[in-house]
Amino acid sequence: MSEFSYFQTRGWIEVIVGSMFSGKTEELIRRTRRAEFAKLKVQEFKPVIDNRYKEKEVTSHNLNTVDATPLNHIEEIWDHLSPKTRVVGIDEGQFFDPSIVQVVQDLADRGLRVIIAGLDTDWKGRPFEPMPTLMAIAENVTKQHAVCMVCGAPASRTQKTSGGDSQIEVGAAESYEARCREHFVAKVDQRT
């Protein structure tokens, strides 16, 4: 049995990670659109908490969009999943609780291709669960890089520039920057 036919019958998990502004959502949209070009039924999901741009669309920072179903809890995916779906896209995976790990395992075991995008580390530079665990169980992991907003080098960190001390504070360019290792600090850095 070829590798391709194995994945067709067994399903698999792909994880796209990186800092903010690294193109994770853009890559998720690209992959799911390619699946649609292949005439595969695709469904996109996102956490309700991510309402920065559109309520019922996965939206990249450059405002490319695809329709999505917002979920309060990842287990709600079963209420919305069509029997014809072959590819599931999940954006902002870090905002779901750890039960996402079993849900995506179950989806892949049912023969579905599951693509999840999210932050691998938080704004303090710590692993941002459940993404590291999803990376460990995935068949494919892609690490995206942004451009450091200080020096222009490849950036793999998310720098918080405003807001409080909470791990989860939804925001975009008004609250976060991409930073390289040299210019990242594990605190709110209100750079001028």
Determine phi and psi for 31, rounding to 5 degrees.
Answer: -65, -40
Rg, Å, the chain Cα set? 17
Sign of CA pseudo-dihedral 146, 151, 157, 162? negative
Q: Residues 27, 92, 129, 177: which is the catalytic one?
A: 92
Length of the chain: 192
CA atoms in the 13 A half-sphere facing the CB of 94 = 24
The verdict on whether 92 is a catalytic residue reads yes
Q: Which residues are catalytic?
A: 92
